Structure 1
Amino acid sequence: MEWEKVSDEKSELLGSSIKDLVTEKKKMFGCPVYFVNNNMFTGVHGSNIFLRLSEEDREKILSEFESVSIFEPVKGRKMKEYVVLSPAIFNDNDLFKQWLSRSHEYVSGMPERSPKKSKSKKP
């Protein structure tokens, strides 16, 4: 599978849409992702915006929007708590912020994860 460059447009859209939420921005494999209490909350992968949702909210969004799907960053490696948003959601500012808020609330309620220790490099 060929790696798709991160969409600057989607990165800027996501960054401006969550500016009022408490998050920590990091990069994973060159992609901007946002964390709450060391738990991944949302991010951009290629030209897709993904977010983490509760089981109830995942079922709701998947049933309401045909083009929403489970996030699969690598073929065969689905991340079951994450969905890829459709343009119908992120092109509607109010709807986009509503789903971001639901995701943020869900992830904020999760126990804080211990940060991973970086591997020390040998000289």
Structure 2
Amino acid sequence: MAWKKAPQWLVEAFAELPLDDPLVERRKMFGYPCAFANDNMFIGLHEDRLVLRLPEEDRERFLETYDSEIFQPFPGRLMREYVIVPHDLIQRREELAPWIERSMLYAASLPPKKKKRTKKAKRPAG
């Protein structure tokens, strides 16, 4: 299943988000711009959506406050810690900034992802 490319306005909006903390590393995941803290993704784009990782209490408050839902990269695959940021909230950066900060601090508090060991190719006998 091919994912849709993020619209240019959203890519530009992501580039302008306040992600200047030294803990933050910007990189792409599945071709979409994302940001990581302590090697844990906390914010990123997917198709035409901005998704934000939040701890349970903040996630519940976000879902109650905004017209949002839990992120599903495809139907039936819930990513329970991630919420979809409504497009109108993306434009209200001062209101969005504290949520980004909470998200970044949450990701930074998590243990770093373990690097997957790559299997060495078996040499042919002989």
TM range (shorter): 0.7 to 0.9
Matches within 5 A, 1:63-74: 63-66=64-67, 68-74=68-74
Q: Distance in 2 between matches of 1:29 and 1:50?
A: 14
Structure 1 match to 2:88: 88
Question: Does 1:102 pair with 2:94?
Answer: no
Structure 2 match to 1:27: 28
Residue 90 of structure 1 and its aligned partner are, at CA, apart by 1.0
Structure 2, unaligned runs of 5 or more: none
Identity level (%): 36
Q: How many residues align?
A: 122
Structure 1 match to 2:111: 111
Relative to structure 1, is the Cα distance of residues 75 and 20 closer, same or farther in structure 2, using a 3 angstrom cutoff? same
Structure 2 match to 1:15: 15
Given the two structures, how large is their TM-score scaled by the length of structure 2? 0.84
Q: Residue by residue, what CA displacement relative to the aligned partner does 1:51-108 show, whole Å, maximum 9, x if unpaired?
A: 1000001100101112x11010111101000001002321111011111111111111
Structure 1, unaligned runs of 5 or more: none
Contact 1:38 1:115 (C-alpha < 8 Å) held by counterparts: no
Relative to structure 1, is the Cα distance of residues 112 and 2 closer, same or farther in structure 2, using a 3 angstrom cutoff? closer
Residue 116 of structure 1 and its aligned partner are, at CA, apart by 3.2
Aligned-residue RMSD, C-alpha:
2.1
Matches within 5 A, 1:40-79: 40-66=41-67, 68-79=68-79
Which has more radius of gyration?
A: 2
